[in-house]
């Protein structure tokens, strides 16, 4: 038993990424190093969160409004800057696009052509922060195409199939990192005593159907008729249970493992939905498609959507194949 425990503790994130990438060629080393930096960012954010109630200037609002029109939390800014810091002197990532920054951040010394871009949501579920409930960080990695000399990052305005890796960190009872490079979806649990993310579930398979539906029913009055019809169907039929945590990463993680469906459809106030395509919906769609589930706008696969701007929002229906198909059958009947 001891030996098995030792083997388990040695399956760290960086070793797993290298194993996954054997036939990936020269990118293998880069991607493994990038994932290591992301893991460092996750550890720094996790540590900050675990002491948030005890330190000044961690919780609460920063007093600014971001490009999304949201009141920014101090933790949003801290986490945003952590991801930038871990990639300085890395020679790996030369451009970072974040929910919290109107324009991408460039690290010029890292910028020979053909390098990587990190797209990320530094703290997802900020409304949970002051209630000590789970939050997350979401990330996707893309190759920079061209020189982006005007700083418009137009090459990022391509569909989600351009992602070469995606994942998230869930700051919950344990801190977990879930990622995929397109060869299965794998979960790692942070062992704080080691300071390492250790493999806890390999090749996660999302059930074809699940009983959970996850949606903010407070928006019912703002939905179109097909979406209301779907919810009425769920209300009338046995076998469904509602779970909504107010933080996408936690709600997604539950469905990734247990099946079911998460929905954030368009509303009258936000016809395009609330969730952002490039650093929320597309990374999670990448994962769900590689764990046997699906991700749709309701009428189109998320991974096929081509954004016109960096912070574009999209409706999101994501989870078990059968449950996403049922929602689409209502939404396409309109
Ligand atoms: P963020 O905190 O990064 O701005 O994202 C919040 C998102 C997402 O985490 C969650 O699913 C959704 O907002 C909840 O929105 P409602 O409060 O409108 O349900
Ligand atoms: Mn936000
Ligand atoms: Mn978010
Ligand atoms: Mn956020």
Whether 5 shows a pLDDT value over 90: the answer reads no
At 22 the pLDDT is 74
Cα dihedral sign, 214-258-160-45: positive
Residue located nearest, by CA, to atom 1 of ligand 1: 124
Of 109-118, 158-167, 183-192, 204-213, give the lowest mean pLDDT range. Answer: 109-118
SS3 23: helix
CB atoms under 10 Å from CB of 290, counted, come to: 19
At 40 the pLDDT is 97
For 239-267, letters b (16+ CB in 10 Å) and e give ebeebbbebbbbbbbbbbbebbbbbbbbb
Confidence class for position 333, pLDDT limits 50, 70, 90: confident
Q: Which tens digit of pLDDT belongs to each residue from 254-272?
A: 999 999 999 999 999 999 9
Compare 314 and 110 and report the one with higher pLDDT: 314
Q: Which tens digit of pLDDT belongs to each residue from 164-188?
A: 999 999 999 999 999 999 999 999 9
At 147 the pLDDT is 87
The HSE-up count of residue 293 (CA atoms within 13 Å, CB side) is 34
At 136 the pLDDT is 98
Q: What percent of the chain has pLDDT over 90?
A: 82
Q: Which tens digit of pLDDT belongs to each residue from 41-55?
A: 999 999 999 999 888
Whether 111 shows a pLDDT value over 90: the answer reads no
At 27 the pLDDT is 76
Q: Which tens digit of pLDDT belongs to each residue from 185-202?
A: 999 999 999 999 999 999
The Cα–Cα gap between 9 and 3 comes to: 10
Q: Which tens digit of pLDDT belongs to each residue from 13-32?
A: 988 988 887 766 667 788 88
At 113 the pLDDT is 56
ipTM, 2 dp? 0.99
Quick one: which atom of ligand 1 is closest to the CA of 251?
Answer: 11
Ligand 2 center to 143 CA (angstroms): 25
At 1 the pLDDT is 64
At 203 the pLDDT is 98
Q: What is the mean pLDDT of residues 201-206?
A: 98
| Protein residues placing their CB within 5 Å of the ion ligand 3 | 121, 124
Ligand 1 pocket: which residues have CB below 6 Å? 70, 99, 121, 124-127, 216, 246-248, 274
Q: Which ligand is nearest to the CA of 65?
A: 2
Quick one: which atom of ligand 1 is closest to the CA of 121?
Answer: 3
Residue located nearest, by CA, to atom 17 of ligand 1: 246
Could you tell me the CA-to-CA distances from 116 to 47, 80, 235 in Å, in that order? 27, 18, 45
97, 139, 94, 96: which is closest to 114 by C-alpha?
94
Label the pairing between strands 135-143 and 163-171. Answer: antiparallel
Mutate to test the pocket of ligand 1, among 246, 254, 275 (most ligand atoms within 8 A of CB): 246
Confidence class for position 75, pLDDT limits 50, 70, 90: very high
| This prediction's pTM | 0.97
Confidence class for position 91, pLDDT limits 50, 70, 90: confident
């Amino acid at each position: 038993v001891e030996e098995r425990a030792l083997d388990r503790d040695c399956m760290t994130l960086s070793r797993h990424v290298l194993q996954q990438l054997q036939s990936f060629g020269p990118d293998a080393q880069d991607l493994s190093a990038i994932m290591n930096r992301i893991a460092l960012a996750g550890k720094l954010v996790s540590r900050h969160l675990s002491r948030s109630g005890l330190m000044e200037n961690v919780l609460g609002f920063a007093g600014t409004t971001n490009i999304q029109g949201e009141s920014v939390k101090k933790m949003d800014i801290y986490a945003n800057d952590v991801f930038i810091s871990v990639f300085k002197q890395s020679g790996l990532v030369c451009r970072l696009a974040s929910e919290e920054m109107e324009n991408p951040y460039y690290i010029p010394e890292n910028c020979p052509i053909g390098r990587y871009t990190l797209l990320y949501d530094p703290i997802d579920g900020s409304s949970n922060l002051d209630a000590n409930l789970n939050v997350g960080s979401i990330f996707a990695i893309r190759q920079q195409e061209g020189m982006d000399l005007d700083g418009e990052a137009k090459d990022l305005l391509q569909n989600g199939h351009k992602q070469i890796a995606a994942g998230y960190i869930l700051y919950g009872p344990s801190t977990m990192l879930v990622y995929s490079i397109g060869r299965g979806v794998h979960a790692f649990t942070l062992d704080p005593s080691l300071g390492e993310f250790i493999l806890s579930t390999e090749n996660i398979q999302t059930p074809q159907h699940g009983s959970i539906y996850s949606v903010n029913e407070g928006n019912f009055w703002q939905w179109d008729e097909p979406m209301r019809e779907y919810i009425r169907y769920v209300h009338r039929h046995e076998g469904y249970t509602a779970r909504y945590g107010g933080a996408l990463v936690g709600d997604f993680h539950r469905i990734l493992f247990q099946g079911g469906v998460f929905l954030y459809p368009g509303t009258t106030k936000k016809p395009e939905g609330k969730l952002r395509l490039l650093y929320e919906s597309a990374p999670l769609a990448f994962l769900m498609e590689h764990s046997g589930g699906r991700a749709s706008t309701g009428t189109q696969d998320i991974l096929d959507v081509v954004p016109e701007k960096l912070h574009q929002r999209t409706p999101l229906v994501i989870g078990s194949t059968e449950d996403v198909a049922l929602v689409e059958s209502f939404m396409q009947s309109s």
